[in-house]
């Protein structure tokens, strides 16, 4: 146990309080929508089964013929085909990426389209948009990023403010006072549970930040200048086929892909034009097992082969935390993220209840800081560091400083 600086504790408590009060509604919204989105697969599976599942009857038509059926219904590259693993599985052909993604499903036995799936038209896509941008587009994304940036500060200041006094010992980390009134009870519920999930919250935030605008773009820039992102040929953008002879059939490429025995869902990237290439890659949450192969569409020559080890360290870390954020490392990760969502909602509501119980009538009840207190260089350095790492947080701190200076100037002139 260490001895806390009482004045610093009061100063950090003040800013923990202010930041928490401002961001509380959005934090609760993010926790609830994030928890709901974790049920995406189980929610969508029965609603899409009639499109993705077919009746096995007779012999299937070739993949090349299926591709010709799907092509008129797809809008723009990149084009991919998910290699079926079950006989009753419709063949999925996909175009575009992210919100522009569209999938067409083919019944290989009847040679007809079973349906289309556009992620942006689904209920869960709306939940994701609410979670990531408050349904306000780029402006909403920046609000979420600002709140997420302040959440790092809330967690750090919360840990310091909560840290028990030396005389309390280890018991202080578990102490919940049930018999001293609702204000104390809800305060303890907020602080104790908040402390014990703080590391998980930081990991969850780290997984969400790459999707943001300002931090996300800055992170991508760092990856680029340090060469720690994906290899340039990871997505085959700079690779070309030599247009000589007859292209290899899609069926031959499917046979090759199946022979590789890759882990997880295996996809086949289709040439977007006469000099495009074939790509075989797998999607699995055992990130270390991910592989990518790119082939000349005429000769079948392997142009590039990438393992997960070829990916830069920043990108590997980014992808790990993003997968962790979405609960994609198996049942344990999914359950853990559900618990984080529930507990974050709980400690946020507990904080609000505790505040309302202690709030004086007609006042905000902002914690007081000793007039002579001056922030130390260590704290200032930490604030500057956080402001550089999270630019929107940095700009908001500058705005607060300007407002505080103007307020003091006004008080002196009165």
- Gap between the Cα atoms of 239 and 269, Å rounded: 13
Consecutive 10-residue runs of the chain (414 residues): their mean pLDDT? 75 87 92 97 96 96 96 89 96 88 96 94 95 94 95 92 84 91 93 96 96 94 95 92 93 96 96 94 93 96 96 96 95 97 97 89 81 82 92 91 82 72
87: DSSP letter: T
Q: Would you call the peptide bond into 11 cis, given omega within 30 degrees of 0 as the criterion? A: no
User: Would you state the structure tokens that stand for residue 212, as one six-digit string?
Assistant: 């943001």
- Gap between the Cα atoms of 39 and 84, Å rounded: 24
Nearest to 208 by CA among 78, 17, 341: 341
SS3 content of the chain, % helix, strand, coil (to 5): 60, 10, 30
The three-point CA angle 202-34-13 to 5° equals 40
- Gap between the Cα atoms of 2 and 195, Å rounded: 16
Q: Are the C-beta atoms of 297 and 247 separated by less than 8 Å?
A: yes
Nearest to 270 by CA among 67, 406, 84, 117: 67
| CA of residue 120 relative to chain centroid, distance | 17
Predicted confidence (pLDDT) per residue in 184-224, tens digit? 999 999 999 999 999 999 999 999 999 999 999 999 999 99
**pLDDT for 3:** 64
The contacts of residue 385 (CB under 8 Å, 6+ apart) are none
Three-state SS at 262? coil
CB atoms within 10 A of CB 310: 15
Nearest to 271 by CA among 307, 239, 306, 245: 239
Q: Are the C-beta atoms of 281 and 256 separated by less than 8 Å?
A: no
- Gap between the Cα atoms of 320 and 328, Å rounded: 10
Q: Which residue has the tokens 């295996």?
A: 266
- Gap between the Cα atoms of 214 and 350, Å rounded: 31
Q: What is the arrangement of strands in the sheet containing 265-270, beginning at the earlier edge strand?
A: 112-117, 102-107, 91-95, 79-82, 265-270, 277-283, 291-296, 302-307
- Gap between the Cα atoms of 298 and 197, Å rounded: 54
Q: Say how many residues make up the chain.
A: 414
**pLDDT for 319:** 95
Q: How far is it between the farthest Cα atoms of the chain?
A: 90
Nearest to 368 by CA among 115, 118, 10: 10
Q: Name the CA radius of gyration of the chain, rounded.
A: 27
Q: Are the C-beta atoms of 145 and 392 separated by less than 8 Å?
A: yes
User: Would you state the structure tokens that stand for residue 20, as one six-digit string?
Assistant: 């928490």
In this prediction the pTM is: 0.91
CB-count burial class (<10 Å; 0-12, 13-18, 19+) for 230? middle
Q: Are the C-beta atoms of 135 and 168 separated by less than 8 Å?
A: no
131 sits in which H/E element: helix 123-133
**pLDDT for 369:** 82
Beta-bridge partner residues of 292: 281, 306
Beta-bridge partner residues of 306: 292
């Amino acid at each position: 146990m260490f001895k806390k600086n009482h004045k610093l504790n009061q100063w950090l408590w003040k800013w923990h309080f202010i930041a928490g009060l401002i961001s509380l509604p959005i934090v609760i919204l993010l926790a609830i929508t994030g928890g709901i989105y974790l049920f995406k697969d189980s929610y969508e599976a029965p609603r899409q089964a009639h499109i993705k599942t077919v009746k096995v009857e007779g012999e299937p038509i070739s993949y090349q013929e299926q591709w010709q059926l799907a092509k008129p219904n797809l809008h723009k590259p990149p084009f991919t085909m998910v290699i079926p693993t079950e006989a009753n599985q419709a063949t999925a052909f996909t175009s575009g990426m992210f919100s522009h993604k569209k999938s067409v499903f083919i019944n290989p036995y009847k040679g007809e389209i079973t349906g289309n799936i556009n992620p942006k038209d689904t209920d869960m896509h709306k939940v994701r948009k609410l979670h990531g941008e408050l349904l306000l587009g780029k402006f909403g994304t920046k609000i979420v990023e600002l709140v997420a940036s302040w959440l790092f500060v809330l967690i750090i200041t919360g840990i310091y403010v909560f840290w028990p006094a030396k005389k309390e010992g280890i018991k202080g980390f578990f102490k919940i006072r049930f018999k001293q009134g609702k204000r104390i009870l809800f305060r303890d519920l907020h602080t104790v549970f908040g402390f014990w999930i703080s590391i998980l919250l930081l990991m969850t935030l780290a997984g969400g930040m790459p999707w943001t605008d300002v931090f996300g773009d800055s992170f991508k820039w760092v990856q680029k200048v340090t060469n720690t992102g994906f290899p340039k040929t990871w997505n085959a953008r700079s690779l070309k086929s030599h247009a000589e002879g007859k292209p290899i059939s899609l069926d031959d490429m499917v046979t090759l892909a199946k022979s590789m025995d890759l882990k997880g869902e295996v996809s086949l990237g289709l040439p977007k034009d006469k000099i495009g290439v074939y790509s075989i890659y797998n999607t699995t949450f055992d990130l270390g097992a991910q592989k990518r192969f790119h082939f000349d569409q005429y000769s079948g020559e392997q142009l590039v082969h990438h393992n997960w080890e070829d990916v830069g360290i920043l990108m590997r870390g980014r992808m790990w935390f993003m997968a962790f954020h979405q609960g994609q490392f198996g049942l344990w990760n999914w359950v853990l993220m559900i618990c984080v969502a529930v507990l974050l909602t709980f400690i946020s509501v507990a904080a609000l209840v505790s505040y309302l119980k202690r709030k004086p009538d007609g006042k905000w009840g902002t914690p007081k800081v000793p007039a002579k207190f001056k922030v130390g260089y260590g704290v200032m350095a930490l604030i500057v560091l956080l402001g550089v790492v999270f630019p929107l947080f940095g700009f908001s701190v500058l705005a607060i400083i300007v407002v505080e200076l103007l307020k003091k100037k006004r008080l002196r002139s009165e």
